[in-house]
Protein backbone atom coordinates (compact mmCIF):
# COMPACT_ATOMS: atom_id res chain seq x y z
CA UNK A 1 0.00 0.00 0.00
CA UNK A 2 1.27 3.46 -0.83
CA UNK A 3 0.70 6.60 1.20
CA UNK A 4 1.85 10.19 1.23
CA UNK A 5 3.13 11.57 4.52
CA UNK A 6 0.73 14.34 5.65
CA UNK A 7 3.68 16.17 7.22
CA UNK A 8 6.34 16.17 4.52
CA UNK A 9 4.62 14.62 1.50
CA UNK A 10 7.21 11.84 1.49
CA UNK A 11 6.33 8.42 0.05
CA UNK A 12 5.45 5.72 2.56
CA UNK A 13 5.02 2.07 1.65
CA UNK A 14 3.45 -0.51 3.94
CA UNK A 15 2.64 -4.16 3.25
CA UNK A 16 -0.45 -4.69 5.32
CA UNK A 17 -2.00 -2.15 7.63
CA UNK A 18 -4.78 -2.20 10.18
CA UNK A 19 -6.77 0.70 11.46
CA UNK A 20 -5.19 2.38 14.46
CA UNK A 21 -1.70 1.16 13.67
CA UNK A 22 1.19 3.64 13.84
CA UNK A 23 3.64 4.03 10.97
CA UNK A 24 6.55 6.37 10.96
CA UNK A 25 7.63 8.35 7.96
CA UNK A 26 11.06 7.34 6.73
CA UNK A 27 11.69 10.85 5.44
CA UNK A 28 10.68 13.13 8.31
CA UNK A 29 10.18 10.67 11.17
CA UNK A 30 6.60 11.78 11.90
CA UNK A 31 4.43 9.22 13.70
CA UNK A 32 1.34 8.55 11.64
CA UNK A 33 -1.84 6.73 12.51
CA UNK A 34 -3.65 4.56 9.99
CA UNK A 35 -7.29 5.62 9.82
CA UNK A 36 -10.13 4.43 7.66
CA UNK A 37 -12.00 6.79 5.41
CA UNK A 38 -15.75 6.55 4.87
CA UNK A 39 -15.19 4.75 1.57
CA UNK A 40 -13.23 2.04 3.40
CA UNK A 41 -9.80 3.04 2.14
CA UNK A 42 -6.96 3.86 4.50
CA UNK A 43 -5.27 7.18 5.05
CA UNK A 44 -2.57 8.46 7.36
CA UNK A 45 -3.06 11.14 9.97
CA UNK A 46 -0.48 12.64 12.29
CA UNK A 47 -0.70 10.50 15.44
CA UNK A 48 -1.41 11.85 18.90
CA UNK A 49 1.77 12.57 20.79
CA UNK A 50 2.52 10.85 24.08
CA UNK A 51 0.30 12.18 26.85
CA UNK A 52 1.18 12.43 30.52
CA UNK A 53 -1.31 9.67 31.34
CA UNK A 54 -0.11 7.21 28.73
CA UNK A 55 0.85 3.64 29.51
CA UNK A 56 0.10 1.14 32.17
CA UNK B 1 -12.47 -3.70 22.32
CA UNK B 2 -11.90 -0.01 22.84
CA UNK B 3 -8.48 1.32 21.85
CA UNK B 4 -6.85 4.59 21.01
CA UNK B 5 -3.66 3.20 19.53
CA UNK B 6 -2.96 -0.24 18.14
CA UNK B 7 0.14 -1.56 19.87
CA UNK B 8 1.43 -5.12 19.64
CA UNK B 9 -0.97 -6.07 22.44
CA UNK B 10 -4.08 -4.83 20.64
CA UNK B 11 -2.97 -6.43 17.39
CA UNK B 12 -2.49 -9.73 19.19
CA UNK B 13 -5.91 -9.48 20.83
CA UNK B 14 -7.52 -8.93 17.43
CA UNK B 15 -5.61 -11.94 16.03
CA UNK B 16 -6.49 -14.13 19.01
CA UNK B 17 -10.19 -13.33 18.64
CA UNK B 18 -10.06 -14.03 14.92
CA UNK B 19 -8.41 -17.42 15.49
CA UNK B 20 -11.15 -18.37 17.93
CA UNK B 21 -13.88 -17.19 15.57
CA UNK B 22 -14.90 -14.51 18.06
CA UNK B 23 -16.57 -11.44 16.68
CA UNK B 24 -14.32 -8.76 18.16
CA UNK B 25 -15.09 -5.23 17.13
CA UNK B 26 -12.20 -2.82 17.56
CA UNK B 27 -13.47 0.67 18.30
CA UNK B 28 -11.27 3.76 18.33
CA UNK B 29 -12.07 5.84 21.43
CA UNK B 30 -10.98 8.93 19.52
CA UNK B 31 -13.89 8.41 17.15
CA UNK B 32 -16.55 8.05 19.80
CA UNK B 33 -19.08 10.34 21.34
CA UNK B 34 -21.30 8.78 23.94
CA UNK B 35 -24.57 10.01 25.38
CA UNK B 36 -24.48 9.66 29.13
CA UNK B 37 -27.96 10.97 29.77
CA UNK B 38 -29.54 8.18 27.73
CA UNK B 39 -28.21 4.89 29.10
CA UNK B 40 -29.85 2.80 26.39
CA UNK B 41 -28.43 4.86 23.52
CA UNK B 42 -25.41 3.48 21.65
CA UNK B 43 -25.54 0.39 23.85
CA UNK B 44 -25.99 -1.92 20.88
CA UNK B 45 -22.65 -0.75 19.43
CA UNK B 46 -20.85 -2.59 22.19
CA UNK B 47 -21.21 -6.28 22.92
CA UNK B 48 -21.99 -7.63 26.34
CA UNK B 49 -18.30 -7.37 27.21
CA UNK B 50 -15.81 -4.68 26.24
CA UNK B 51 -12.06 -4.90 26.69
CA UNK B 52 -10.75 -1.41 27.41
CA UNK B 53 -7.23 -1.01 26.01
CA UNK B 54 -6.69 2.75 25.80
CA UNK B 55 -3.11 3.89 26.15
CA UNK B 56 -4.42 7.10 27.68
CA UNK B 57 -5.43 6.17 31.23
CA UNK B 58 -8.00 8.91 31.77
CA UNK B 59 -9.61 8.34 28.38
CA UNK B 60 -9.98 4.64 29.11
CA UNK B 61 -11.22 5.26 32.62
CA UNK B 62 -13.97 7.61 31.52
CA UNK B 63 -15.06 5.42 28.62
CA UNK B 64 -15.32 2.58 31.14
CA UNK B 65 -17.55 4.65 33.44
CA UNK B 66 -19.92 5.39 30.58
CA UNK B 67 -20.06 1.82 29.26
CA UNK B 68 -20.73 0.47 32.74
CA UNK B 69 -23.58 2.97 33.11
CA UNK B 70 -25.05 1.38 29.98
CA UNK B 71 -24.87 -2.04 31.60
CA UNK B 72 -21.84 -3.30 29.66
CA UNK B 73 -19.25 -5.46 31.40
CA UNK B 74 -15.86 -3.82 30.99
CA UNK B 75 -12.48 -5.48 31.40
CA UNK B 76 -11.35 -4.05 33.72
CA UNK B 77 -14.20 -2.52 35.73
CA UNK B 78 -14.05 1.20 36.52
CA UNK B 79 -13.19 0.68 40.17
CA UNK B 80 -10.23 -1.54 39.27
CA UNK B 81 -8.92 0.88 36.62
CA UNK B 82 -9.32 3.79 39.04
CA UNK B 83 -7.38 2.05 41.81
CA UNK B 84 -4.63 0.74 39.55
CA UNK B 85 -4.31 4.04 37.68
CA UNK B 86 -3.46 5.83 40.89
CA UNK B 87 -0.34 4.73 42.75
CA UNK B 88 -1.60 6.18 46.00
CA UNK B 89 -4.89 4.26 45.91
CA UNK B 90 -3.09 1.10 44.84
CA UNK B 91 -0.68 1.37 47.78
CA UNK B 92 -3.59 1.89 50.16
CA UNK B 93 -5.32 -1.30 48.96
CA UNK B 94 -2.11 -3.35 49.09
CA UNK B 95 -1.19 -2.09 52.57
CA UNK B 96 -4.68 -2.59 53.96
CA UNK B 97 -4.68 -6.19 52.77
CA UNK B 98 -1.39 -6.78 54.55
CA UNK B 99 0.54 -7.34 51.32
CA UNK B 100 4.19 -6.36 51.70
CA UNK B 101 4.74 -3.12 49.77
CA UNK B 102 7.50 -0.49 49.94
CA UNK B 103 7.15 2.12 52.69
CA UNK B 104 5.27 5.08 51.25
CA UNK B 105 4.51 8.54 52.63
CA UNK B 106 2.37 11.14 50.86
CA UNK B 107 2.51 14.91 51.34
CA UNK B 108 0.75 17.85 49.70
CA UNK B 109 3.35 20.62 49.91
CA UNK B 110 7.05 20.60 49.19
CA UNK B 111 7.87 21.40 52.83
CA UNK B 112 5.99 18.35 54.10
CA UNK B 113 7.35 16.27 51.22
CA UNK B 114 10.86 17.15 52.42
CA UNK B 115 9.95 15.88 55.89
CA UNK B 116 8.55 12.70 54.34
CA UNK B 117 11.80 12.11 52.45
CA UNK B 118 13.87 12.65 55.61
CA UNK B 119 11.63 10.25 57.49
CA UNK B 120 12.03 7.57 54.83
CA UNK B 121 15.74 8.30 54.48
CA UNK B 122 17.99 8.45 51.41
CA UNK B 123 17.83 7.12 48.82
CA UNK B 124 14.09 7.52 48.30
CA UNK B 125 11.93 7.70 45.17
CA UNK B 126 9.34 10.27 44.17
CA UNK B 127 6.56 9.19 41.84
CA UNK B 128 3.57 10.98 40.36
CA UNK B 129 0.35 9.33 41.56
CA UNK B 130 -0.79 8.79 37.98
CA UNK B 131 1.13 8.17 34.79
CA UNK B 132 3.44 5.42 33.88
CA UNK B 133 6.25 4.01 31.83
CA UNK B 134 8.36 5.36 34.67
CA UNK B 135 7.64 8.91 33.59
CA UNK B 136 8.72 11.57 36.14
CA UNK B 137 9.81 8.93 38.62
CA UNK B 138 12.99 10.24 40.18
CA UNK B 139 15.49 8.89 42.68
CA UNK B 140 16.16 11.19 45.65
CA UNK B 141 19.75 10.72 46.73
CA UNK B 142 20.47 13.67 48.99
CA UNK B 143 18.91 16.75 50.54
CA UNK B 144 20.09 19.23 47.91
CA UNK B 145 18.79 17.39 44.85
CA UNK B 146 15.55 16.58 46.67
CA UNK B 147 15.02 20.23 47.50
CA UNK B 148 15.44 21.38 43.91
CA UNK B 149 13.38 18.50 42.54
CA UNK B 150 10.50 19.29 44.90
CA UNK B 151 10.70 22.94 43.84
CA UNK B 152 10.51 21.87 40.19
CA UNK B 153 7.47 19.73 40.91
CA UNK B 154 5.77 22.63 42.62
CA UNK B 155 6.25 24.68 39.45
CA UNK B 156 4.48 22.04 37.35
CA UNK B 157 0.96 23.10 36.56
CA UNK B 158 -0.92 19.85 36.99
CA UNK B 159 -2.40 19.72 40.52
CA UNK B 160 -1.87 15.96 40.59
CA UNK B 161 1.89 16.62 40.61
CA UNK B 162 1.36 18.48 43.89
CA UNK B 163 0.57 15.16 45.53
CA UNK B 164 4.03 14.08 46.57
CA UNK B 165 4.18 10.30 46.70
CA UNK B 166 7.46 9.39 48.36
CA UNK B 167 8.63 5.82 48.60
CA UNK B 168 11.65 4.07 50.03
CA UNK B 169 14.16 3.06 47.37
CA UNK B 170 14.12 -0.68 47.66
CA UNK B 171 17.48 -2.39 47.46
CA UNK B 172 16.94 -4.95 44.75
CA UNK B 173 18.75 -6.69 41.92
CA UNK B 174 18.47 -4.73 38.63
CA UNK B 175 15.21 -6.44 37.81
CA UNK B 176 11.64 -6.78 38.99
CA UNK B 177 8.97 -9.41 38.46
CA UNK B 178 5.99 -8.75 36.22
CA UNK B 179 3.15 -11.25 36.48
CA UNK B 180 0.13 -11.22 34.22
CA UNK B 181 -3.01 -12.28 36.02
CA UNK B 182 -6.22 -13.10 34.13
CA UNK B 183 -9.19 -13.59 36.44
CA UNK B 184 -8.06 -15.90 39.23
CA UNK B 185 -5.14 -17.35 37.24
CA UNK B 186 -1.51 -16.47 36.80
CA UNK B 187 -0.84 -16.80 33.09
CA UNK B 188 2.77 -15.62 32.80
CA UNK B 189 5.55 -14.25 34.92
CA UNK B 190 8.79 -12.61 33.83
CA UNK B 191 11.81 -10.84 35.22
CA UNK B 192 12.18 -7.39 33.75
CA UNK B 193 15.78 -6.21 33.70
CA UNK B 194 16.51 -2.49 33.51
CA UNK B 195 17.74 -1.24 30.16
CA UNK B 196 21.43 -0.40 29.75
CA UNK B 197 20.99 3.30 30.45
CA UNK B 198 18.21 3.32 32.99
CA UNK B 199 17.54 2.16 36.55
CA UNK B 200 13.84 1.68 35.85
CA UNK B 201 12.78 -1.74 34.63
CA UNK B 202 9.89 -0.71 32.35
CA UNK B 203 9.97 -2.56 29.03
CA UNK B 204 8.81 0.77 27.57
CA UNK B 205 12.15 2.16 28.84
CA UNK B 206 14.23 -0.47 27.09
CA UNK B 207 14.11 -3.16 29.77
CA UNK B 208 14.42 -6.79 28.69
CA UNK B 209 12.44 -9.81 29.79
CA UNK B 210 13.26 -13.31 30.98
CA UNK B 211 10.90 -15.99 32.22
CA UNK B 212 10.43 -16.27 36.00
CA UNK B 213 9.30 -19.34 37.92
CA UNK B 214 7.23 -18.25 40.87
CA UNK B 215 7.24 -19.99 44.24
CA UNK B 216 3.86 -21.09 45.59
CA UNK B 217 4.01 -18.39 48.29
CA UNK B 218 4.65 -15.68 45.76
CA UNK B 219 1.88 -16.95 43.49
CA UNK B 220 -0.51 -16.69 46.39
CA UNK B 221 0.67 -13.17 47.24
CA UNK B 222 0.29 -12.02 43.62
CA UNK B 223 -3.20 -13.46 43.28
CA UNK B 224 -4.16 -11.80 46.54
CA UNK B 225 -2.86 -8.44 45.24
CA UNK B 226 -4.94 -8.88 42.08
CA UNK B 227 -7.97 -9.77 44.18
CA UNK B 228 -7.74 -6.80 46.56
CA UNK B 229 -7.82 -4.25 43.75
CA UNK B 230 -10.91 -5.99 42.35
CA UNK B 231 -9.50 -8.54 39.89
CA UNK B 232 -9.61 -8.75 36.11
CA UNK B 233 -6.76 -8.66 33.61
CA UNK B 234 -3.85 -7.23 35.56
CA UNK B 235 -0.09 -6.84 35.65
CA UNK B 236 1.27 -7.32 39.17
CA UNK B 237 4.78 -5.97 39.76
CA UNK B 238 6.99 -7.32 42.54
CA UNK B 239 10.55 -6.67 43.67
CA UNK B 240 13.00 -8.91 45.48
CA UNK B 241 14.38 -7.27 48.59
CA UNK B 242 16.73 -8.53 51.31
CA UNK B 243 13.78 -8.96 53.66
CA UNK B 244 11.55 -10.68 51.10
CA UNK B 245 9.33 -9.86 48.17
CA UNK B 246 7.32 -6.66 48.01
CA UNK B 247 4.55 -5.81 45.57
CA UNK B 248 4.78 -2.21 44.47
CA UNK B 249 2.23 -1.90 41.70
CA UNK B 250 -0.79 -3.46 40.05
CA UNK B 251 -1.45 -2.30 36.49
CA UNK B 252 -4.84 -2.27 34.84
CA UNK B 253 -4.31 -1.90 31.08
CA UNK B 254 -1.50 -4.42 31.18
CA UNK B 255 1.20 -4.33 28.52
CA UNK B 256 2.08 -7.98 27.99
CA UNK B 257 4.36 -7.88 24.95
CA UNK B 258 7.49 -8.61 27.00
CA UNK B 259 5.78 -11.30 29.05
CA UNK B 260 4.34 -12.93 25.95
CA UNK B 261 7.62 -13.25 24.05
CA UNK B 262 9.67 -14.33 27.08
CA UNK B 263 7.16 -16.86 28.44
CA UNK B 264 5.78 -18.04 25.09
CA UNK B 265 2.35 -18.08 26.69
CA UNK B 266 -0.52 -17.04 24.44
CA UNK B 267 -1.67 -14.27 26.77
CA UNK B 268 -4.11 -12.63 24.32
CA UNK B 269 -5.89 -15.94 23.86
CA UNK B 270 -6.33 -16.21 27.65
CA UNK B 271 -7.72 -12.68 27.77
CA UNK B 272 -10.24 -13.45 25.01
CA UNK B 273 -11.28 -16.63 26.85
CA UNK B 274 -11.78 -14.59 30.00
CA UNK B 275 -13.92 -12.07 28.10
CA UNK B 276 -16.00 -14.93 26.66
CA UNK B 277 -16.50 -16.37 30.13
CA UNK B 278 -17.71 -12.98 31.40
CA UNK B 279 -20.10 -12.60 28.48
CA UNK B 280 -21.72 -15.93 29.34
CA UNK B 281 -22.23 -14.99 33.01
**CATH assignment of the domain containing A22:** 2.20.28.160
Min CA distance, B28 vs chain A (Å)?
7
* CA B169/CA B188 separation, integer angstroms: 26
Reported for B236-243, long-range contacts at CB under 8 A and 24+ positions apart, including other chains, are: B236/B178, B236/B179, B236/B181, B237/B176, B237/B177, B237/B178, B237/B179, B238/B176, B238/B177, B238/B179, B239/B102, B239/B170, B239/B172, B239/B176, B239/B177, B240/B172, B240/B173, B240/B175, B240/B176, B240/B177, B241/B170, B241/B171, B241/B172, B242/B171
- Does A55 sit within 8 Å of B57, measured CB to CB? yes
Verify that B119 and B206 share a domain, yes or no.
no
Kindly provide the ipTM of the predicted complex, given to two decimals: 0.71
Verify that B275 and B194 share a domain, yes or no.
yes
- DSSP reduced 3-state for A45: strand
Contact list in A for residue B127 (CB cut-off 8 A) is none
Question: Is B98 inside a domain boundary?
Answer: no
Q: Which residue of B has its CA nearest to A23?
A: B6
Verify that B193 and B254 share a domain, yes or no.
yes
- Per-residue pLDDT, A15: 84
pTM of the predicted model, to two decimals?
A: 0.89
- Per-residue pLDDT, B162: 92
- Per-residue pLDDT, B198: 77
Helices B216-228, B87-96: inter-axial angle, 10-degree rounding: 120
Contact list in B for residue A33 (CB cut-off 8 A) is 5
Q: Are B190 and B183 in contact (CB under 8 A)?
A: no
Verify that B132 and B78 share a domain, yes or no.
no
**CATH assignment of the domain containing B10:** 3.40.50.20
Question: Is A34 inside a domain boundary?
Answer: yes
Question: Is B89 inside a domain boundary?
Answer: no
Of B168, B189, B204, the residue at which a domain comes to its end is B168
Phi, psi of B106, deg, nearest 5: -115, 140
Verify that B218 and B270 share a domain, yes or no.
yes
Q: What is the tens place of the pLDDT at every residue in B72-131? A: 999 999 999 999 999 999 999 999 999 999 999 999 999 999 999 999 999 999 999 987
- Per-residue pLDDT, B255: 93
Min CA distance, B234 vs chain A (Å)?
10
- Per-residue pLDDT, B202: 77
What residue numbers bound the domain in which A39 lies?
A: 2-46
Verify that B145 and B244 share a domain, yes or no.
no
Q: What is the tens place of the pLDDT at every residue in B186-245? A: 999 999 998 777 778 777 777 789 999 999 999 999 999 999 999 999 999 999 999 999
Number of domains in chain B: 3
Min CA distance, B174 vs chain A (Å)?
20
Question: Is A40 inside a domain boundary?
Answer: yes
Q: What integer best gives the mean pLDDT of chain B? A: 94
Question: Is A53 inside a domain boundary?
Answer: no
Question: Is B226 inside a domain boundary?
Answer: yes
Bridge partners (DSSP) listed for residue A11:
A4
> How many of the other CB atoms lie within 10 Å of CB of B259?
25
B87: nearest Cα among B123, B139, B126: B126
Verify that B161 and B193 share a domain, yes or no.
no
**CATH assignment of the domain containing B115:** 3.30.1490.20
To probe the interface with A, which of B2, B51, B55, B205 has the most A CB atoms within 10 Å? B55
Q: Are B54 and B31 in contact (CB under 8 A)?
A: no
Question: Is A35 inside a domain boundary?
Answer: yes
Question: Is A51 inside a domain boundary?
Answer: no
Verify that B65 and B136 share a domain, yes or no.
no
Verify that B180 and B275 share a domain, yes or no.
yes
Question: Is A8 inside a domain boundary?
Answer: yes
* CA B2/CA B25 separation, integer angstroms: 8
Q: Are B256 and B13 in contact (CB under 8 A)?
A: no
What residue numbers bound the domain in which B47 lies?
A: 2-83
- Does B255 sit within 8 Å of A56, measured CB to CB? yes
* CA B171/CA B124 separation, integer angstroms: 11
Question: Is A23 inside a domain boundary?
Answer: yes
Question: Is B90 inside a domain boundary?
Answer: no
Of B54, B83, B112, the residue at which a domain comes to its end is B83
Q: Give percent of chain B above pLDDT 70.
A: 99
Instruction: Order the strands of the B185-193 sheet from edge to edge.
Output: B208-211, B185-193, B175-182, B233-241, B244-251
- Per-residue pLDDT, B79: 98
Contact list in B for residue A54 (CB cut-off 8 A) is 55-57, 131-133
- Does A22 sit within 8 Å of B133, measured CB to CB? no
- Per-residue pLDDT, B196: 74
- Per-residue pLDDT, A53: 86
User: Which of A18, A35, A52 is facing B131, going by the closest CB pair?
Assistant: A52
Contact list in A for residue B10 (CB cut-off 8 A) is 20
Verify that B161 and B176 share a domain, yes or no.
no
Count how many pairs of residues, chain A against chain B, have C-beta atoms within 8 Å: 58
- Does B253 sit within 8 Å of A56, measured CB to CB? yes
Question: Is A54 inside a domain boundary?
Answer: no
Verify that B194 and B271 share a domain, yes or no.
yes
**CATH assignment of the domain containing B226:** 3.30.470.20
- Does B204 sit within 8 Å of A20, measured CB to CB? no
Number of domains in chain A: 1
Question: Is B275 inside a domain boundary?
Answer: yes
- Does A18 sit within 8 Å of B131, measured CB to CB? no
Verify that B154 and B177 share a domain, yes or no.
no
Amino acid sequence: MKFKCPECDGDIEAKEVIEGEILSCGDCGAELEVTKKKDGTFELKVAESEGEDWGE
Amino acid sequence: MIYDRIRTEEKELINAAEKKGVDLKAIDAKELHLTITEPEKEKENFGSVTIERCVSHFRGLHVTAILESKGINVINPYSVAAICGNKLLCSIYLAKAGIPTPKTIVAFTKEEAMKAVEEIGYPAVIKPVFGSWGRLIAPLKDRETTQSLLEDREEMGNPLYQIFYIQEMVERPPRDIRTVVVGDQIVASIYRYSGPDDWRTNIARGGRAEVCNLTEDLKEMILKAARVVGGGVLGVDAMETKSGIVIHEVNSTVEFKGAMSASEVDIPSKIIDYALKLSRN
